[in-house]
């Protein structure tokens, strides 16, 4: 059981004069319960990878398989519901008069027997009480509530794999915490892929990290391995500020350090390096 992207790539206008290779030679394996974080600067191919993995576009090299079945634009209908994709700013796609109707749209469209029940269950999963929020118009939700409702709309189809594009962008502290909790709940049954240019929100809970740069894989490994790779990551890929400060201080003092996401661990390390400077 896994979503497997093997040596896959995608070129826009493949075979034509304006061919533009967006992604090449990418490997990614996502198992149920796993969380893969895909990092990279704007334009590095992150969103293209999600489109490939969800069958919105066909790989022009390599392959994508879902539990052994080949994923493609033609297989997408057959595999529908198995791979859920949450776009960036998904709340801009609400259309139903109430939150519950919007969330239940997917299962209803797929002919599930009890779409409202699926919708209610998905709302509970993301921490939105269906009795409180179900009858409201989705257009008056706060940023965090709206994003969670959009995630619920995809979870209602109970996908085995959940792909999210910048799920916390533009959200305040409360909204980000709410979305993180919703994703943790989804992970109990689904494999999750999160694309972001800001590693801070998810690096601690990820089990794999893939760093894209100009359409190719610049790093693949565990979060710990990524932190230690630190300075050797390509330009434009930044570690979160706390481990980056540790590496800068180590560089300044010529000492070795194991970078950490924990501000307290970092403070102790910097204090030790700065020694008598207080």
Partner 1 sequence: MADGTTTAGSGIAFEGVSFAYAMDGSRRSALRDVTLTLSPGELLVVVGANGSGKSTLARLCNGLLIATVGSVRVDGLDPADPDRTWDVRSRVAMVFQDPDNQIVGTVVEDDVAFGPENLGVEPKEIRRRVDAALAAVGLVGFDRREPHMLSEGQKQRLAVASALAMEPAYLVMDEPCAMLDPEGRADVLALADVLAHERMHGVLLVTHDLADVAAADRVAVLAGGELTFLGTPDVLLGDEAAVTSAGLEMPPVGLLAASLRGMGFDVPARALTPESIVGALWP
Nearer to partner 1, 5 or 242 (CB): 242
By CB atoms closer than 10 A (0-12, 13-18, 19+), residue 96 is middle
* CA 87 vs CA 118, 170, 204: distances in Å: 21, 13, 23
Residues in contact with partner 1, total (CB under 8 A)? 39
**Residues from 136 through 175 that contact partner 1 (CB under 8 A):** 142-144, 169-175
Tell me the pairing of strands 161-165 and 83-86: parallel
CB of 224 to partner 1, least distance (A): 17
Number of helices (H), then strands (E), belonging to the chain: the values are: 9, 10
Only one residue has tokens 């960036």, namely 88
Residue 195 burial class via C-beta count within 10 angstroms: exposed 0-12, middle 13-18, buried 19 and up: buried
- List the Cα angle 76/187/37 in 5-degree steps: 80
The distance of closest approach from Cβ of residue 48 to partner 1 in the complex, given in angstroms and rounded to an integer, is 16
Min CB(108)–partner 1 separation in Å = 28
Say if residues 191 and 30 touch (Cβ distance below 8 Å): yes
CB of 259: closest distance to partner 1 in angstroms?
11
User: Does residue 240 interact with partner 1 by CB under 8 A?
Assistant: yes
Name which position in 33, 97, 135, 263 contacts partner 1 (CB under 8 A): 263
Q: Which residue has the tokens 């033609």?
A: 74
Minimum distance of partner 1 from residue 200's CB (angstroms): 7
Distance, in Å, from the CA atom of 199 to the CA atom of 185, rounded to the nearest integer, reads 20
Footprint of partner 1 on 22-61 (CB under 8 A): 41-43
**Closest CB to partner 1 among 78 and 174?**
174
Please select the residue that binds partner 1; options are 197, 214, 233, 234, rule is CB under 8 A: 197
| Interface positions with partner 1 (CB under 8 A) | 41-43, 142-144, 169-176, 197-198, 200, 236, 238, 240-242, 244-245, 248-249, 252-253, 261, 263-264, 266-267, 270-271, 273-274, 277-278
């Amino acid at each position: 059981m896994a979503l497997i992207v093997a040596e896959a790539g995608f070129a826009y206008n493949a075979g034509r004069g304006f061919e533009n290779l967006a992604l090449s030679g990418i490997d990614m394996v996502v198992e149920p319960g796993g969380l893969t974080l895909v990092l990279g600067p704007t334009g590095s191919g992150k969103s293209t990878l999600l489109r490939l993995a969800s069958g919105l576009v066909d790989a022009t090299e390599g392959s994508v398989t879902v539990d052994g079945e080949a994923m493609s634009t033609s297989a997408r209908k057959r595999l529908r519901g198995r791979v859920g994709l949450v776009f960036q700013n998904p709340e801009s796609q609400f259309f139903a008069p109430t939150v519950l109707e919007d969330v239940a749209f997917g299962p209803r469209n797929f002919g599930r027997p009890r779409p409202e029940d699926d919708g209610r269950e998905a709302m509970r999963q993301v921490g939105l009480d269906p009795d409180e929020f179900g009858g409201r118009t989705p257009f008056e939700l706060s940023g965090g509530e709206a994003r969670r409702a959009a995630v619920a709309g995809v979870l209602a189809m109970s996908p085995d794999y959940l792909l999210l594009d910048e799920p916390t962008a533009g959200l305040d502290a409360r909204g980000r915490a709410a979305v993180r909790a919703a994703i943790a709940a989804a992970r109990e049954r689904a494999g999750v892929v999160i694309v972001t240019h800001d590693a801070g929100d998810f690096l601690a809970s990820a089990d794999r990290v893939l760093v894209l740069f100009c359409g190719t894989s610049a790093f693949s490994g565990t979060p710990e391995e990524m932190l230690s790779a630190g300075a050797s990551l390509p330009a434009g890929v930044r570690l979160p500020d706390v481990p980056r400060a540790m590496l800068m201080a180590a560089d300044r003092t010529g000492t070795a350090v194991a970078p950490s996401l924990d501000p307290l661990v970092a403070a102790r390390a910097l204090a030790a390096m700065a020694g008598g400077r207080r």
